[in-house]
Amino acid sequence: MGAGHAHKLYRHGHSPVHDLPPHCKLAAVFCFVVVVVSTPREAVWAFGLYALLIAGVTALARIPAGFLLKRLLIEVPFVAFALLMPFVVPGEQTHLLGLSVSVPGLWGAWNVLAKGTLGVAASVLLASTTELRELLLGLQRLKLPPLLVQIASFMIRYGDVITDEMRRMSIARRSRGFEASGIRHWGVLAKSAGALFIRSYERGERVHLAMVSRGYRGSMPVIDEVTASRTQWAYASALPLLALAVCLVGWTV
């Protein structure tokens, strides 16, 4: 995890998807996921259509399928969890490949897998077509409280700096022959964490001084405004609207 990988999340490119304003994309992804989650699990075909929609956007954004699939791996722990459901959920039993499994369990597993995967895929698409600071601007535009946006923006800015500090401390530890291998060593790790906190906090104080020195009085000056035209909104809404149509059909069928 960590901001150290942050720059790998975004895939630079120029595509209709890259060029959409960030707040449109954020809203579209969110609505899409909401629609997916609200779809009845029995409408198996609906999820297939959703997957096709995602694949379509991926192609439009010229994101290689491999890239997307690799990022989907984040879900693996849940796959494991989902695969267990058929065995632990009580209810009507059926036989599958010679194993006795429960029907509600199978449905549960399918539900979590399908919805979880689609959710992850949508988020991954968003992160790989939108730059970090654009995302922040988008969140701001979507009326996330400015203070939260500021906190997030400082977190992104200093995530790398602090991760680097942590790495240096770890190298210093290892250079002196320390290898964290058991409970006895937690004390050392915690001391490092303590030192890291003090450094982070003191840096926060210095950053605050630097901000105040340049006229900061509690709110960020507006430097960039992101705006979206009607057409851009229309493009962005294509995904959730199509999904909504699928979902409605799923409920009625």
Which residues inside 91-150 make contact with other proteins, applying CB under 8 A? Answer: 91, 104-105, 107-109, 111-116, 118-120, 122-124, 126-127, 132-133, 135-136, 145, 147-148, 150
Long-range contacts of 154-162 (CB under 8 A, 24+ apart): 154/204, 154/207, 155/3, 156/3, 156/6, 156/132, 158/200, 158/203, 158/207, 159/2, 159/3, 159/4, 159/6, 160/3, 160/4, 160/6, 161/203, 162/196, 162/199, 162/200
**Per CB under 8 A, 195 contacts other proteins:** yes
| Structure-block tokens of residue 147 | 């203070």
Minimum distance from CB of 19 to other proteins (Å)?
16
**Per CB under 8 A, 87 contacts other proteins:** yes
Residue 19 and residue 128: Cα distance in Å, rounded? 12
Nearest to other proteins of 74, 253 (CB atom): 74
Binding-site member from 17, 61, 166, 243 for other proteins (CB under 8 A):
166
Site track for other proteins across 20-39, x = CB under 8 A? ------x--xx--xx-xxx-
Nearest to other proteins of 52, 210 (CB atom): 210
Q: Is the distance from CB of 94 to CB of 101 less than 8 angstroms?
A: yes
Beta strands in 109-236 (DSSP E): none
Exposure class string for 212-241: b at 16+ Cβ within 10 A, else e: eeeeeeeeeeeeeeeebeeebeebbbebbe
Minimum distance from CB of 63 to other proteins (Å)?
14
Minimum distance from CB of 168 to other proteins (Å)?
12
Nearest to other proteins of 60, 89 (CB atom): 89
Minimum distance from CB of 64 to other proteins (Å)?
16
Q: Which residues contact 229 (CB under 8 A, 6 or more apart)?
A: none
**Per CB under 8 A, 177 contacts other proteins:** no
**Per CB under 8 A, 232 contacts other proteins:** no
**Per CB under 8 A, 43 contacts other proteins:** no
Nearest to other proteins of 97, 231 (CB atom): 97
**Per CB under 8 A, 66 contacts other proteins:** no
- Using DSSP's 3-state secondary structure scheme, residue 62 falls into coil
